[in-house]
């Protein structure tokens, strides 16, 4: 059905080019993830799934993956970005293992690492990173999920015994959804309000043993099991309640808040708010890794769906007696190709996030602007990629028809497991508000004439974190005037300049419009300001999302610029198609805005849709390459529908028909007889 020829591309080159400097650590992660022992069987009960997940998590440490994260003073290379990258590929084996390992080596170990002192590292960190000391990260409470700055568990210092008393005052303060809690954790990093000398210093982290060596809850600790969930059945989530549980003074992870023996509190950060959010900031790795892992999951789903689409046929087409491959249907191309483009945009943007992450975590005192950018990007990228993953996996599942619903074809399980990625490590809706709030702060700083302190003050109550650092608003940068030169108005619809102009002018105008609308808040009382803000909450979130899309588009474009077009002309062309499809898809999702606000003349706007159609058709010509480019093997896909089974059966059917036709008793089609008669 396709008459145009596909591009001739070196898929290995492309993958490595797109994965960049962390390509080889990803390869190692994938190699590990290919191990068949890491698979959970759907018929196993919860207990067995949890046990197997634990074993996979420990195997990861045994294979040496976690030493990458060992601090320098303990002999580690402290290659966080490489560590995270390898880690993300674990989702290919089992999302449950990726998440349980994330809790153990990311959150639990990471909290000890970044919030604890060297002594505490020696005591707990090595064992934790080696999977010998199993632990939980206990922040969320029943009553406080998104709003963790206000958890209610208390840690009251008792100077007589030089101990903290960890206590759950009421049911809303029970720690909830805690990974590793229901079955395996021996200890937990518990977030609780530090109270000493009659003063509540806000939320700090404490190392709290929770189970005896025999695995029973320690005195005063109540553990409940969250039981069945919508996915991640290998992860043992549960609840912790504490009834006046005593821990020694030196179990306070005291990097940002120290208590002397006599109970005197000291901290390098004065502002209680800033202190807590600085602590949280050190734990950004979780979010970063979900951005990456969900993108890996999207690629896996696309790999399966593309391979199936190339084999599977349905309905006779232009050639009598010959069925059409799914990939040759215009609609099928429209369903899958934009998702391929999104997966690569998310992937390349993620690598840039890892660069920032590396920069911040490698330096003793990273520039505030970079830290700020990291937090904003981690929040926003994670929100967009995890939602994209759900859409992508679901579309792939549907694109495989009934076969997509069969467990062994992988897509449904992946969809179930990834579901909660949009909720944990910060609910997406809340994360985008955080991004939006920072855009507003920067905006008000850049345009000095606007002060919307009232709203901003209110906003800091509303967003999960706050910070005084600058976001990357500068990268939105140029004003509409700069961008919409007359020359641009005549550019081809696939022009990168035009795409950037549209994407960034949307962020610019939505943001300035929002700032104007929130301006009156400065002169309002708190309730009125809250109401005003609430009326524009949706716009704030939309603005944040537009900004994140722009950043992702820019990351993809920046990568594109690095390709040697004379050595790799077809590869460059393919990437250009992917980039353009990404840009135009995002623009098309908000085409109404671009037209309504006069950014795109109507006649030109009408070209976007058909251009997307053409790009999808062209990209579909390289569907097998696009699948191969993801870099997975049959061991990762573990499905039959993507490994030639369908084609083998079709050949068998064709052979049967050929043979049957030669028989004298082969029936004639009634239609032919009717046609002859008439």
Query: CA angle 487-493-499, nearest 5°?
Result: 80
> Per DSSP, what are the bridge partners of residue 70?
none
Between residues 150 and 212, which has the closer beta carbon with respect to a second copy? 150
The listed partner (a second copy, ligand FAD, none) that binds 139, CB under 5 to 8 Å by sort, is ligand FAD
Q: What are phi and psi of 440, to 5 degrees?
A: -65, -40
Element holding 222 (H helix, E strand): strand 221-225
Between residues 345 and 383, which has the closer beta carbon with respect to ligand FAD? 383
Between residues 278 and 356, which has the closer beta carbon with respect to a second copy? 278
| Beta carbon of residue 47, minimum distance to a second copy (angstroms, whole number) | 10
Between residues 449 and 670, which has the closer beta carbon with respect to a second copy? 670
Count of alpha carbons within 13 Å of 128, Cβ hemisphere only? 33
Q: Which of residues 537-556 bind a second copy (CB under 8 A)?
A: 537-538, 541
Question: Is there binding between residue 429 and ligand FAD (CB under 6 A)?
Answer: yes
Question: Is there binding between residue 453 and a second copy (CB under 8 A)?
Answer: no
What count of other Cβ atoms lies within 10 Å of the Cβ of residue 6? 16
- The DSSP 8-state label assigned to residue 120 in this structure reads H
The piece of 23-31, 192-200, 442-450, 544-552 that touches a second copy (CB under 8 A) is 192-200
Between residues 484 and 597, which has the closer beta carbon with respect to a second copy? 597
Q: What are phi and psi of 293, to 5 degrees?
A: -65, -40
Among the listed residues 51, 156, 423, 460, the single contact to ligand FAD using CB under 6 A? 423
The listed partner (ligand FAD, a second copy, none) that binds 671, CB under 5 to 8 Å by sort, is a second copy
What count of other Cβ atoms lies within 10 Å of the Cβ of residue 144? 19
CA dihedral defined by 393, 395, 401, 402, rounded to 10 degrees? 40
Among the listed residues 119, 485, 535, 633, the single contact to a second copy using CB under 8 A? 535
Q: Which two tokens stand for residue 116?
A: 């604890």
Closest listed residue to residue 342, CA positions, set 146, 38, 556, 570: 556
The listed partner (a second copy, ligand FAD, none) that binds 179, CB under 5 to 8 Å by sort, is ligand FAD
| Beta carbon of residue 672, minimum distance to ligand FAD (angstroms, whole number) | 24
Q: Which of residues 456-475 bind ligand FAD (CB under 6 A)?
A: 462
Among the listed residues 431, 529, 551, 623, the single contact to a second copy using CB under 8 A? 529
Closest listed residue to residue 38, CA positions, set 636, 447, 559: 636
Question: Is there binding between residue 661 and a second copy (CB under 8 A)?
Answer: no
| Beta carbon of residue 508, minimum distance to a second copy (angstroms, whole number) | 17
Q: What are phi and psi of 248, to 5 degrees?
A: -65, 155
Q: Which of residues 168-187 bind a second copy (CB under 8 A)?
A: 169-173, 176-177
Radius of gyration from C-alpha coordinates of the chain: 27
**Per-residue x/- track, 137-156, a second copy (CB under 8 A):** ---x-xxxxxx--x-x---x
| Beta carbon of residue 417, minimum distance to ligand FAD (angstroms, whole number) | 10
Among the listed residues 150, 271, 314, 633, the single contact to ligand FAD using CB under 6 A? 314
Report the distance separating Cα 486 and Cα 582, nearest Å: 25
- Residue 166 makes CB contacts below 8 A (sequence gap 6+) with 153, 154, 155, 190, 192, 206, 208, 242, 244, 245, 246, 247
First-last CA distance in the chain = 32
Question: Is there binding between residue 13 and a second copy (CB under 8 A)?
Answer: no
Question: Is there binding between residue 320 and a second copy (CB under 8 A)?
Answer: yes
Q: Where are the beta strands (DSSP E) in 420-466?
A: none
> Per DSSP, what are the bridge partners of residue 196?
199
**Per-residue x/- track, 375-414, ligand FAD (CB under 6 A):** -----------------------xx-xxx-x---------
| Beta carbon of residue 418, minimum distance to ligand FAD (angstroms, whole number) | 11
Closest listed residue to residue 293, CA positions, set 97, 57, 560: 97
Residue holding tokens 């087409």? 317
Closest listed residue to residue 494, CA positions, set 438, 433, 432, 560: 560
Q: Which of residues 330-349 bind a second copy (CB under 8 A)?
A: 330-331, 334-335
Residue holding tokens 């990437």? 575
Q: Which of residues 216-255 bind a second copy (CB under 8 A)?
A: 226-231
Question: Is there binding between residue 546 and ligand FAD (CB under 6 A)?
Answer: no
Residue holding tokens 């049959």? 634
**Per-residue x/- track, 94-123, ligand FAD (CB under 6 A):** ---------x--------------------
Dmax (CA) of the chain: 106
Among the listed residues 206, 256, 424, 553, the single contact to ligand FAD using CB under 6 A? 424
Residues that bind ligand FAD (CB under 6 A): 103, 137-140, 145-146, 177-179, 229, 232, 237, 312, 314-315, 326, 329, 331-332, 398-399, 401-403, 405, 420, 423-424, 427, 429-430, 462
């Amino acid at each position: 059905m396709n008459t145009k020829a596909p591009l001739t591309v070196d898929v290995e080159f492309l993958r490595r080019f797109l994965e960049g400097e962390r390509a080889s650590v990803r390869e190692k992660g994938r190699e590990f993830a290919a191990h068949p022992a890491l698979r959970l069987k759907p018929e196993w009960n919860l207990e067995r799934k949890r046990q197997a997940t634990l074993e996979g998590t420990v195997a990861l440490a045994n294979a040496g993956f976690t030493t990458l994260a060992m601090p320098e003073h303990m002999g580690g290379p402290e290659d966080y970005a490489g560590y995270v990258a390898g880690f993300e590929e674990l989702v290919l084996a089992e999302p449950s293992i990726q998440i349980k390992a994330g809790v153990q080596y990311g959150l639990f170990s990471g909290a000890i690492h970044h919030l604890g002192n060297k002594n505490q590292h020696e005591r707990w960190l090595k064992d934790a990173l080696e999977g010998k000391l199993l632990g939980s990260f206990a922040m969320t409470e029943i009553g406080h999920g998104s709003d963790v700055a206000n958890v209610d568990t208390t840690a009251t210092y008792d100077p007589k015994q030089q101990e903290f008393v960890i206590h759950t005052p009421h049911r809303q303060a029970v720690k909830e959804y805690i990974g590793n809690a229901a079955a395996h954790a021996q200890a937990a990093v518990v977030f609780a309000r530090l109270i000493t000398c009659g003063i509540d210093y806000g939320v700090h982290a404490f190392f709290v043993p929770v189970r005896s060596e025999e695995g029973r809850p320690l005195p005063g600790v109540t553990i409940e099991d969250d039981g069945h969930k919508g996915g991640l059945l290998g992860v043992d989530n549960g609840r912790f309640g504490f009834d006046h549980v005593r821990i020694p003074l030196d179990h306070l992870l005291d990097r940002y808040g120290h208590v002397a023996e006599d109970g005197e509190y000291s901290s390098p950060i004065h502002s209680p708010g800033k202190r807590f959010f600085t602590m949280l900031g050190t734990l950004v790795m979780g979010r970063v890794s979900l951005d990456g892992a969900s993108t890996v999951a999207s690629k896996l789903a696309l790999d399966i769906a593309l391979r199936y689409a190339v084999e599977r046929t349905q309905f006779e087409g232009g050639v009598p007696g010959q069925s059409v491959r799914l990939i040759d249907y215009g609609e099928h191309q429209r369903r899958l190709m934009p998702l391929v483009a999104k997966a690569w945009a998310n992937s390349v943007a993620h690598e840039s996030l890892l660069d920032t992450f590396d920069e911040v975590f490698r330096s003793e005192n990273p520039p505030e602007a970079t830290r700020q950018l990291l937090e904003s990007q981690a929040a926003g990228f994670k929100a967009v990629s995890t939602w994209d993953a759900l859409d992508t996996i679901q579309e792939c599942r549907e694109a495989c028809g009934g076969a997509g619903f069969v467990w062994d074809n992988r897509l449904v399980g992946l969809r179930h497991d990834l579901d909660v990625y949009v909720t944990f490590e910060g609910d997406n809706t809340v994360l985008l508000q955080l991004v939006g709030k920072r855009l507003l702060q920067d905006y008000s700083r850049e345009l000095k004439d606007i002060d919307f302190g009232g709203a901003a003050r209110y906003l800091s109550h509303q967003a999960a974190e706050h910070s005084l650092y600058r976001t990357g608003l500068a990268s939105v940068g140029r004003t509409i005037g700069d961008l919409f030169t007359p020359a641009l108005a005549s550019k081809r619809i696939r022009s990168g300049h035009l795409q950037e102009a549209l994407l960034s002018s949307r962020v610019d105008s939505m943001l300035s419009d929002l700032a104007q609308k929130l301006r009156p808040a400065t002169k309002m009382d708190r309730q009125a300001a809250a109401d005003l803000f609430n009326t524009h909450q949706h716009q704030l979130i939309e603005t944040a999302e537009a900004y994140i899309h722009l950043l992702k588009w820019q990351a993809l474009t920046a990568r594109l610029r690095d390709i040697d077009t004379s050595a790799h002309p077809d590869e460059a062309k393919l990437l250009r198609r992917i980039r353009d499809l990404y840009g135009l898809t995002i623009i098309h999702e908000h085409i109404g805005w671009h037209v309504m606000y006069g950014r795109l003349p109507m006649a030109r706007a009408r070209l976007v849709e058909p251009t997307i159609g053409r790009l999808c058709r062209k990209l579909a010509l390289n569907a097998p390459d696009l699948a191969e480019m993801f870099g997975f093997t049959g061991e990762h896909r573990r499905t039959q529908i993507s490994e030639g089974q369908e084609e083998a059966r079709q050949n068998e059917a064709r052979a049967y028909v050929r043979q049957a036709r030669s028989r004298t008793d082969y029936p004639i089609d009634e239609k032919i007889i009717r046609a002859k008669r008439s």
